[in-house]
Amino acid sequence: MFSEHLQPLIDKIMADTIPLEQVAGDPEVTAIITTLDNQPMLERQIEVLRAECGHIIVVNNGSRDGTREWLLENPMPGVSYINRENLGAGPGRNAGLTYGRAPRPLR
């Protein structure tokens, strides 16, 4: 799936001359990523999804590969995260859905 759908987007974004910081996706679209010990892929997924989505919620399911620290040290506009113990991908997705439905202050 990655090679068919996300890799072409990564290639397009990397080829563009527009700085990634200026790329903003559809504000009506939110992506939820659940991750466990997959920081290099997470970084690439976020880059691609920022061009497509207005908000990204990362649910870190207890990664031990530095994902938690990377998320804490690299705040990104439009990216929120939840650091939690690993309860599985399904409960992680549900945590992201719950977080996404919570009212947030207008900016």
Q: Please check whether residue 23 lies inside any domain of the structure.
A: yes
In the chain, % of residues over pLDDT 90: 60
Q: Is residue 48 part of a domain?
A: yes
Please indicate, yes or no, if residue 107 is contained in any of the structural domains: no
Could you tell me if residue 77 is inside a domain?
yes
Dihedral pair phi/psi, residue 106, rounded to 5°? -70, 145
Whether the per-residue pLDDT at 7 is higher than 80: the answer is no
pTM of the model: 0.73
Mean pLDDT value of segment 82-101: 92
Give the up-direction half-sphere exposure of residue 107: CA atoms within 13 A in the CB hemisphere. 3
Q: Does the pLDDT at position 86 exceed 50?
A: yes
Each residue of 33-57: pLDDT tens digit?
Answer: 999 999 999 999 999 999 899 999 9
User: Whole domain around residue 91: which residue ranges?
Assistant: 2-101
The structural domain count of the chain equals 1
